[in-house]
A and B are shown apart, each in its own frame.
Chain A
Amino acid sequence: MDFELDADQESLQEGVRAFVEGRVPLDTVRELEAAGARVDRALWAELGEMGVFSVALPEDQGGLGMGVAEAALVFEELGRGIVPGPLVGTALAAGILDGAATGELVVAVLEPAEPITVVEFPADVDALLLLADDGIRRIDPATLETTPVGRPTDALTPLAVVNSAIPTGELIADAAASARARLVGTTLTAALQVGVALRATELATQYAKEREQFGKVIGSFQAVKHLCADMLIRAEVARVAVYAAAVTLDGRSDDDVVRAVAAAKCVAGDAALQNGKSGIQVHGGNGFTWEFDIGRYWKRACVLDTQFGNSDEHALHVAEMV
């Protein structure tokens, strides 16, 4: 047993972090947001070229030939950068739909839900994946009647509400592949949540080191310091839960895979949401402005919690498996 990252995993994570910081820094994210948060096709192709969508795809299928654990490390970095776009859907489509692995296609997951079903990135999405019980179904977005959401909670995640019945679409993978895709998609979404939780901790800590009140930096006050410490604790606990789930999906653990994935999404979802909130609190009034990025982290946490089952649903699922 060795639960530390190996040298290849460390360099993979560092490489993706450097790419995100260089190619999609928060300045660029804000520009994309101001321009309506359309999917940047050039960026999407660059992400595809890096292998972001095909980490766990075998090399003979054009992938990096690594595992879900490595994919989780990559998605943690994308979460840290709140990189916009249907990242998980496109990664799940890699190897099933031509052009997904390379980032030529923009693919999102469609999750029929109540009270509304939404399509993410409706102006850009080329294909939708329905992870049904009988298999993965490809749905053409043009076959859905939708109404755009005027003011999405996360301006970086544009949405449209589906008004029509969901068509059956085209069966493109079997039931086992669909079940596996649900687990992988849940884990990669949890990895994005971990990235959000970690970066929110860093943003709050940085602010607490700079902002002065009562003649001192506010991070010296225990009331603020403990908010930051709790953010780190939640992020670190969530991070290992997600790594454990990913490693289990790779067959590198004897744990029950369904339970490991559910626990990861539960813990990571709570960590991202709570760290977003605490991060805003540390930023004070500035945290509530459009100008400061911490609010974008909370908003992304809100989106991610609704994907692949929210934290409470996964907690109830874990309770059944106790």
Chain B
Amino acid sequence: MDLLYTAEEQAFRAELREWLGDVLPTLGSEPDREDWAARRAWDLGWTATLHRAGYSGINWPKEFGGRGATPTEHLIYIEETERAHAPYIGMNFVGMLHAGPTLIAEASDEQKAFHLPGILEGRHLWCQGFSEPNAGSDLASLRTRGVRDGDDYVINGQKIWTSFGHVADYCEMLIRTDPEAPKHKGISWIIVPMDTPGIDVRPLRTMEGSTEFCEVFFDDVRVPVANRVGAENDGWRVAMVTLSFERGTAFVADVIKSMELVRALKEFAQHVTSKGATRWEDAALRLEIGKCAAELDALWALTKRNISQAQRTGLVGVGGNVFKVAWTDLRHHLGDVAMRVLDRASLSIEDVAGLANGEHVSGRFFALSMSIAAGTSQVNRNVIGERVLGLPKER
């Protein structure tokens, strides 16, 4: 067990830090969060900048255009970019973290040759068409149909929670190609160009008021069979390859951001008063902030252990499920503590009265989605109970 970084890892960090120091001041200011065209240009522009410097596809294999960084270097990359407040992967997360790795693992040479550079160079934006209104945690019950007609699949149905669907170029999509087969055995994984006729994208307003999610409706959408990745009806297995990537380093940036939020919360509490005393003088609040910080430290250690395991075995394993549940529970706790510190300043999602309340309030909304997205905490607890502890399934 060793948490010190090697000379190579330190050199990687130093080089990255220097590059970020040079490039970040040249970026200008981030676009308005609801200006989707501008945000698309901003996020893809950042990917292009990363690509020119050799950092795009940080953990993708070199033979497919990535940097081929080790899991530890990947961790350092996320840590440094987040601490420097560089743009996050943003809209490009589906392409870089889901679709791209799936294509690398499962796609044909032609598919790889066309799509991987598009993702790496920041030319193509991807979205995900997995969940449906009636297929959430029970994803394999999805019903969007793909019927073979000559060299095309004709797709009819509806997808939901499709982040950035209104500005995406391609969709990694699961369709039912054999309705007679058992539910896991009749699904195919297909690349759908979002400009195909018959696709209707409708922004779905979240409870926070943002419109990053979309509903996507498919009405006789013709997609070439050549766009399928993997064998027909083998899409569930292909999708699981994708989902296993999601549990690796996907939340590392959020942990680092939360550590900054805890510091900001302390700062806030030390400067605002309630009934004549600063909020920081309230031992009950200090206690909760301390618990959040201690748990964050522990989750940072868990991240390093998961990364070390990935470095040795190529897989994150159950540490990923443990992390996801613990992290989202903690994120809820941190949001609740922040509300108690902010008191009525928690009633505005934007900064008010010169206070830095906004990030805490929107972070609390974010927490609500975190324990649902990418496997609800309840499904994850089932996975831990059944696959790790060996408890029998309910039924």
Contact = CB atoms under 8 A, between A and B. Distances in A.
A268 to B, nearest CB: 9
A12 B313 CA distance: 22
Contacts of B202: none
B392 A219 contact: yes
Interface in A243-281: 243-244, 246-248, 252-255, 259-260, 262-264, 266-267, 270
Interface residues of A, number: 58
A247 B301 CA distance: 11
Contact of A225 (B5, B287, B386): B386
A7 to B, nearest CB: 12
A29 B299 CA distance: 34
Contacts of B5: 1
A244 B325 CA distance: 20
B1 A5 contact: yes
B293 A263 contact: yes
B390 interface: yes
A184 interface: no
A69 B301 CA distance: 14
Contact of A243 (B266, B301, B319, B325): B301
B272 interface: no
Nearest to A222: B394
Contacts of A320: 290
Contact of B1 (A2, A226, A229, A264): A2
From A5, A226, A322, residue with most partner B Cβ within 10 Å: A322
B381 A225 contact: yes
Contacts of B299: 237
A241 B298 contact: yes
A238 B385 CA distance: 18
Given A216-B392, A219-B391, A318-B294, 4 more contacts: A1-B307, A241-B297, A252-B4, A312-B287
Interface of B: 1-6, 9, 72, 262-263, 266, 283, 286-287, 289-291, 293-295, 297-299, 301-302, 304-305, 307-309, 311-312, 319, 322, 325-326, 378, 380-382, 384-386, 388-395
13 contacts: A1-B308, A2-B2, A3-B304, A209-B392, A220-B391, A229-B381, A234-B326, A236-B302, A238-B298, A252-B2, A315-B291, A322-B263, A322-B290
Interface of A: 1-6, 9, 69, 201, 205, 208-209, 216-217, 219-222, 225-226, 228-230, 232-234, 236-238, 240-241, 243-244, 246-248, 252-255, 259-260, 262-264, 266-267, 270, 312, 314-322
